[in-house]
Amino acid sequence: MQTGNQHGPIWLSVGEASGDLHGAELIKALAQARPGISFTGMGGPAMEAEGMDVRYPSSLISLVGITEILGGLPRILLLLRRIRRALEQVQPCAVVLIDCPEFNFRIAKIARRLGIPVYYYISPQLWAWRPGRAEFLRDHVRRVICILPFEKDFYGKRGMDVDYVGHPLMDVLPLNRLDAMPVDRNLIGLLPGSRIREVSNLLPEFAGAARLLREKHPDLRYVIVRAPGMERERLLALWDSDIPVEIVEPDARYETFRACAMMLAASGTVTLETALIGTPVVVAYQVSALSALVARLLVRVKFISLPNLIADREIYPEHIQDRATAPHLAAAASSWIDSPERLASVRRDLAGLRSMVGEPGAAARAARIILDDLEALKG
């Protein structure tokens, strides 16, 4: 029976910027529900700001794609050994995993062997590929907590009773204030990603698209929203263009998303943020050739961006691999810029998406599920 140390901290494990945001909200909700509880583990600056003792920064495992993960494997294996020793010493009352399955499944296995209860918040996207891994979750995790509406059915078909709490972004986004902000029809936003590899791949293509758009639309202005941990100097070095660009800090991202007429963005949680805010986005994604081949063989979904997956149709155009290039991105952007009616239609679709992601309070509901289960373990 898994009991953990009832007086120990909660260990959280997060591997990327979006998980750091959701982890911070969960910490806030857990601390409010149980004052005095402490938090440690792997996280980012948002979680640290909420009082977590970040022993391992999540940037240590910020990898994307199969070949990138393989290249970093020796370092990751060493990190896992260090985390196992830390878990033995700290004896947390629970381990909470947030997304990042390639790494966090290994943490789940370690924690289970040590008799520590494991909870999965922001359940991994097994519906996209490798659905057989649901059995691993059944064997290693006490509660799986989902945030997307179709995930409960996915797990239910595999004999698992999971909790659906709605999407935590509904608590984070100040939608009433953002809805009242004006949109600048000449401002184009750029979201090249939070990982070095994807930024290096995509930002030069975004710069090339801006250069092509200038021929027909010289009045357009460009702004890059810097991801946490991504240096301004790196972004400027990759902006291979004589077109002026402004770099906005992460804490102003939502206001910037709202101000933009449209955006070019790497696929990721940020596409759902922009969708809920109501900003049209052209989605881009590039990985290594081997990663792309594996994805073609294994991925089982029609779309890669969350707004399209939730709506089950294409709202955001997706440009993957050899289509994630300057000419294709510029053409997609131009088709919207030249047609205000199309942009207005996309915005109407995005307004309908809000009702599909649940009511505010997801983090509080997740915190209650975790704490109630830990309480049941004591009995």
pLDDT at 43: 95
Q: Is the pLDDT of residue 298 over 50?
A: no
**Confidence band for 261, pLDDT divided at 50, 70 and 90:** very high
Average pLDDT over residues 91-108: 93
pLDDT at 361: 95
> Domains of the chain by range and CATH?
10-168+361-378 (3.40.50.2000), 175-356 (3.40.50.2000)
Q: Is the pLDDT of residue 293 over 50?
A: no
Q: Could you tell me the pTM of the whole model? A: 0.80
Tokens of 372: 């109630």
- Pair 370, 163: CB distance under 8 Å: no
Amino acid at 119: Y
pLDDT at 207: 96
Q: Is the pLDDT of residue 269 over 90?
A: no
- Pair 95, 108: CB distance under 8 Å: yes
Q: How many Cβ atoms sit within 10 Å of the Cβ of residue 239? A: 21
The answer for 266, left when phi > 0, alpha when psi is -120 to 50, beta otherwise, is beta
Distance CA 137, CA 124 (A): 10
Closest to 172 measured CA to CA, from 377, 348, 21: 21
Per the listing, tokens 């291979």 go with 240
Helix 196-216 / helix 326-337 crossing angle, nearest 10 deg: 50
Top-confidence residue, 150 or 176: 176
- Pair 220, 210: CB distance under 8 Å: yes
Average pLDDT over residues 162-184: 94
Top-confidence residue, 74 or 112: 112
Q: How many Cβ atoms sit within 10 Å of the Cβ of residue 51? A: 13
Tokens of 255: 């206001």
Q: Is the pLDDT of residue 45 over 80?
A: yes
